[in-house]
Amino acid sequence: MLLLVLGVAGYWALNGQGPSPRPPAASNQRTLPGQSRGKQNAGDTAPAVHLDALQRERPSPADGERNVFRFKPKAAPPPPSASRPGGSSPSTAPIAPAAPAGPPPPPPIMLKFIGVMEQPGTRVRIAVLTDGQGPPMFGSEGGTVAGRYRVIRIGVESIELSYLDGRGRQTIRLTGG
């Protein structure tokens, strides 16, 4: 059976009766009823190559014709230099150093608010604070903590502290840890 198939394929190949290879047609190309498909194979000859044109001298590019920045808008001209009152020009005017705005702010308060205690029968609230190194510290509203800070207000989830002199007012949220 295999020999029979090979024999038929060889006969077609030698006689040219086999199916001719055609380039696949694009899906949008349609043949009209009057057209034949034979006209598609009319351009099977190789295109003409002009080898002498490759040997000719090519023109060199011209200088100054191309501007790669041509789409960039022009920069605005500098403002006219008007003389300032007092006779000094803007470029030679003395620049005064910036004066400090005052003393630097105090460092942040490095305490953690870990809880609130209430004495039974009274409405006195006591805040429990820690610095992460020693035992817990306690303070009530208006009192001092660690000899450096004043408790301004104790809330449900936060406490408001400041330094004893009133600077550096800071709100610390309840961390629970």
Structural domain contains residue 123? yes
What pLDDT, in 10s, does the model give residues 111-142? 999 999 988 888 889 999 998 898 999 999 99
pLDDT on residue 51: 87
Structural domain contains residue 62? no
Structural domain contains residue 130? yes
At residue 149, does pLDDT exceed 90?
Answer: yes
Structural domain contains residue 18? no
> Do 162 and 170 touch, CB atoms closer than 8 A?
yes
Could you tell me how many residues make up the chain? Answer: 177
Structural domain contains residue 139? yes
Structural domain contains residue 122? yes
For residue 99, name the pLDDT band (cuts at 50, 70, 90). Answer: low
Q: pTM to 2 decimals? A: 0.42
Structural domain contains residue 155? yes
pLDDT on residue 81: 75
Q: Which tops the pLDDT comparison, 128 or 27?
A: 128
Query: Considering its fold, how many domains does the chain have in total?
Result: 1
- Domain span including residue 165: 112-173
Structural domain contains residue 125? yes
CB burial of 56-87 (b: ≥16 within 10 Å; e: otherwise) equals: eeeeeeeeeeeeeeeeeeeeeeeeeeeeeeee
pLDDT on residue 14: 79
d(CA 177, CA 114) in angstroms, rounded, equals: 6
pLDDT on residue 173: 93
pLDDT on residue 159: 94
Cα 102–Cα 106–Cα 107 angle in degrees, nearest 5: 140
